[in-house]
Structure 1
Amino acid sequence: MHSDLPTCNPPRRHDIDALRVLAFVLLILYHVGMFYVADWGWHAKSSHVAEWLKWPMLVVNQWRMPLIFLISGLAVHFLLRRVTPGAFAWSRVRRLLLPLAFGMAVVVPPQAYVQALSTGAFEGSYLDFLVRYFTFQPWPVDAFDGWEAGITWNHLWYLPYLLVYSLLLAAALPLLRSRVGRAFQGWVQGLRGVRLWLLPALPLTLATWTLSAAFPTTHDLLNDWHTHAQSLAMFMLGYWIGTDPGAWAELRRRRWTWLGAALSTFALFTVLLYATEPGPTVGRALYDFVQRLNQWTWLLLVLGWGHHLLDRPFRWMPWASASVYPWYVLHQSITVVAGFYLARLSLGPVIEPVLVLLATGAGCVLLTDGLVRHSAVLRLLMGMPTRPTAGPSQPAGVAKENRTGAEDAGPVEAGNPATVRS
């Protein structure tokens, strides 16, 4: 029988810390790519779009957000070993709602302004835009993502979704910790081999079959039921897997198997992507299954190889782990604004994307280390730990950022590759 409440402190899982940071770095790179990939709509686009970029984007598109939700579930598993359900629920409200509100008020509006300029829906100054934006009135159709409500959370949609899932989990803890709940968790942790590869993909496929047509991805919290089914499933899988040594040993032991399976399912997925006609057909049902199996297989691959390669202390990890939440909040606005204005300079298809990538990375680091890290108020509003403390992943005498505040953030959607937005 597996327990969420061990009698001793487990060893620190450095690979989970590292995977969380790397998942958000991948997200940042993905969003820079969205500015340049051909035929995929986004908030703003360069004139230097590339067809070849679809392939690396397709590789990560199906599992990048499921990975973030799964890691979030793992973080919740760790956190609930140390705090009461009530304290956990309050910490999630504070850690997620404040950055969401601040982000919607300060960080996200530049994206909406640039998109409104690029669509021709607005021609005034940024100050004029803000005056109208904060009246919460509907905008012209497709002026920017979220035009219907007059205000948007864009890439920050992950935060309210994670908050809802966390509060639901806190409310369900009596059931999850009951005999039945522990038995089911033990069953999940006991999956091995083919069962581990196939069985989790089945409910994901069923959700797609039953919900995707009626509820396409919108990031409207109240009506985004297909996204909820996928994301909540990943969140709960992370919680259920937790730190079970047998489950993680299986992930690591079969890492080469996952690699072969991931390449094979992706190859089949791409064939079906271009060969399957729209509509409720047998071919479409097969495509949906392969898509979800491909998604889950890549997650197995990432977790298995991550556990093999990353479960050791890295000197950069305390800094990166504490910084990654502000990076997430800041990065897309920097990318969209920098890309929009650099595209006007006719710098060419090499210099322009290099500068957009550098502006995004440097902007995240400079704003976080030069501004946010030095202000207690901004740290709170951007989700950073409020103070550094000593931690088990560092050498004696070296301070690190508070683990609790750094482990639970992240953002962005999984969806049809041709319609990905945030």
Structure 2
Amino acid sequence: MRRYDLDWLRVIVFGLLIFYHVGMFFVAPDWGWHIKNNITYEWIKYPMLFLNQWRLPILFVISGMGTSYALSKRTAIQFAFERTKKLLLPLVFGMLVIVPPQVYLEKLSKGLISVSYFNFWPAQAFIGTYPTGNLSWHHLWFIPYLLLFSLVLIPVFIFLRNNPNNIIIKTTAKICQNRWKLYWFITPLYLAEAFIEPFYQETHALVGDWFVITSSIFLFFIGFLLISVKETFWKTVQENRTIYLKCGIAGFTALLFIITAFEDGYVRHFTEALIKVFSFWSWILTLFGHASKYLNKPSKTLSYCNEAVYPFYILHQTITVILGYFLMNLPWNSFYKFSIMSIGTFAISWVIYEFLIRRWILIRPFFGLHYKNKLPTAEFHHQSSNSIFAE
């Protein structure tokens, strides 16, 4: 049975991603981004830190859950082909067409280039790799990581699917019956945070990005396990959603205290790592619990948004950077700029999606959508699976 709450969470989290990237335009320079407003703000980093702690982890968990649905209907070869088609084609298209304007405007704003865009693309756009060169996947980094995890874990997932009474699934079911035992899942995440992150900080370059790869593949695998025990997990998080919310508030408060009150050192690092994973896992459980209670129902709005979310993800940051470039040096109130960039990113993404991507059959695959663009009511469930993050 389809989990509509997962679809809603996916749509909501990617909607928040737009606000997050707009926030990167205004946050203090130590949070590096492609372009910055002429006035930046230190305090913005705290609400952004709150979002940042769980927004990517929950997407990898949801993606792992979606993989379970996908493999229930496909052979390993069918799954590998379908996932490669939906991920690799949009990634290549994005790197060739969508991302270059971001690189161009960043280097133009910093005085690193002075040519027009059509002298930059394609002649210079693919020379060398970013940041010294120009070829990059920028915000699309999530796609190659998801492709890697999906393909590498196929043998494990096939084994778990074909042997539902194996020790791993049985142990997961027992853990999911107890609200506190669900925190056992943070053990590998803590080990990665404590012992890998100091040596391999985030780069999103895939090669050598061992901390992100390790922690993210664990989250992806955990998502597959949680959905495999069916209602056992959902019953626990729904019944204990208020407790998890209190844990999340306490965890994030403690995390802020440690970050602001103590200097870097071994004690702070290992303590911060534990509180960080406890905090974001509590928020993930909170979101799953509340979504299960209030959002697990279909709607036409959800069906539309769930198909649109992948194209919006591919498009949004380029639109945000373009708007930011023309606003960055204007002597306007930052609230007006934030509003223009947020509303503008949503509106322009929607116009491009609705009147170009959604309606043009040949363009749809470049944004991860099926060729077929009009589906009868009987195929409602199939339409919801257009997203790479769904089944």
Q: TM-score, normalised by structure 1?
A: 0.87
Please, which of 11, 24, 38 is the counterpart of residue 21 of structure 1?
11
Partner of 2:235: 249
Residues 4-23 of structure 1: CA distance to partner in whole angstroms, max 9, x if unpaired? xxxxxxx3211111111111
1:119-178 superposed Cα distances (whole Å, 9 cap, x missing partner): 22112211222244345236xxxxxxx224531000000110000100012133344346
Match of 2:387 among 397, 406, 413: 406
Cα pair 2:238 2:290 within 8 Å, conserved: yes
Distance (Å, rounded) in 2 between the aligned partners of 1:319 and 1:401: 12
What is the alpha-carbon distance in structure 1 between the residues aligned to residue 374 and residue 233 of structure 2? Answer: 31
Which residue pairs with 1:92 in the alignment? 83
* Residue-by-residue CA offset, 1:26-50 (whole Å, 9 max, x unaligned): 1111111111122421111112323
- Tell me, yes or no, if the aligned pair for 1:211 and 1:226 is still in contact at 8 Å: yes
TM-superposed CA distance for 1:102, in Å, is: 0.4
Asked whether 1:156 is paired with 2:146, we answer no
Aligned partners of 1:174, 1:327: CA distance in 2, in Å? 31
Whether 1:81 and 2:62 are equivalent positions in the alignment is no
- Greater shift, 13-22 or 251-260, is seen at 13-22
Match of 2:355 in 1: 370
Q: Is the 8 A contact 1:319 1:400 kept in 2?
A: no
CA contact (8 A) 2:38 2:329 kept: no
Equivalent pair of 1:276/1:287 in contact (CA under 8 Å): no
8 Å Cα contact 1:277/1:283 also seen in 2: yes
Q: Among 297, 300, 312, which residue is 2:285 paired with?
A: 300
CA distance in 1, matches of 2:231, 2:51: 27
Q: Within 2, Cα distance between the matches of 1:75 and 1:398?
A: 18
Give the distance between the partners of 2:149 and 2:225, measured in 1 at CA.
14
* Contact 1:388–1:399 (CA under 8 A) maintained in structure 2: no
| CA–CA distance in structure 2, aligned partners of residues 176 and 149 of structure 1 | 43
AA in 1 matched with 2:200:
F
- Which of 317, 328, 352 matches 2:337? 352
- Structure (1 or 2) with the greater helix fraction: 2
Match among 226, 247, 250 for residue 264 of structure 1: 250
Please, which of 280, 289, 296 is the counterpart of residue 274 of structure 2? Answer: 289
Give, as a single letter, the amino acid of the residue that structure 1 aligns with 2:353.
Answer: T
Q: Tell whether the 8 Å contact from 2:308 to 2:353 is kept in structure 1 after alignment.
A: yes
Residue 208 of structure 2 aligns to a residue whose secondary structure is: coil
The amino acid of 1:161's aligned partner reads Y
The 5 A counterparts of 1:15-414 are 15-39=5-29, 40-137=31-128, 146-148=130-132, 150-177=134-161, 182-191=166-175, 192-197=178-183, 199-242=184-227, 244-279=230-265, 281-388=266-373, 402-408=383-389
Find the aligned partners of 1:106 and 1:231 in 2 and give their Cα distance: 27
Deviation of 1:403 after TM superposition, in Å, equals: 3.2
Q: Is the 8 A contact 2:100 2:125 kept in 1?
A: no
Unaligned runs of 5+ in 1: 1-10, 139-145, 410-422
CA distance in 1, matches of 2:89, 2:224: 24
What is the CA–CA distance in structure 2 between the aligned matches of 1:402 and 1:336, rounded to whole Å? 31
Cα shift readout 1:101-128 (whole Å, capped 9, x = no counterpart): 0000000001101111222211221122
Matches of 1:405 and 1:169, distance apart in 2: 21
Is the 2:307–2:369 Cα contact (8 Å) retained in structure 1? yes
The code of the aligned residue for 2:387 comes to A
Bigger Cα displacement from structure 2, 374-383 vs 327-336 = 374-383
Q: How much does 1:213 deviate? A: 1.6
Please give the alpha-carbon distance, in whole angstroms, between the structure 2 residues aligned to 1:230 and 1:117: 35
Distance 1:318 1:187 in 2: 35
Give, as a single letter, the amino acid of the residue that structure 2 aligns with 1:158.
Answer: F
Are 2:60 and 2:220, in contact at CA under 8 Å, matched by a contact in 1? yes
Q: CA deviation at 1:81?
A: 1.1
**SS at the partner of 1:44?**
coil
C-alpha distance in 2, partners of 1:278/1:132?
45
Fraction of identical pairs, as percent: 32
Q: How many residues align?
A: 386
Q: Is the 8 A contact 1:390 1:400 kept in 2?
A: no
**Considering only aligned residues, what root-mean-square deviation do their CA atoms show, in Å?**
2.0
| 1:401, distance to aligned residue in structure 2 (A) | 6.2
Q: Structure 2: which amino acid aligns with 1:83?
A: R
Asked if 2 retains the 8 angstrom alpha-carbon contact of 1:269 and 1:287, the reply is: yes
Pairwise CA distance, 1:309: 1.1
Bigger drift between 123-132 and 68-77 goes to: 123-132
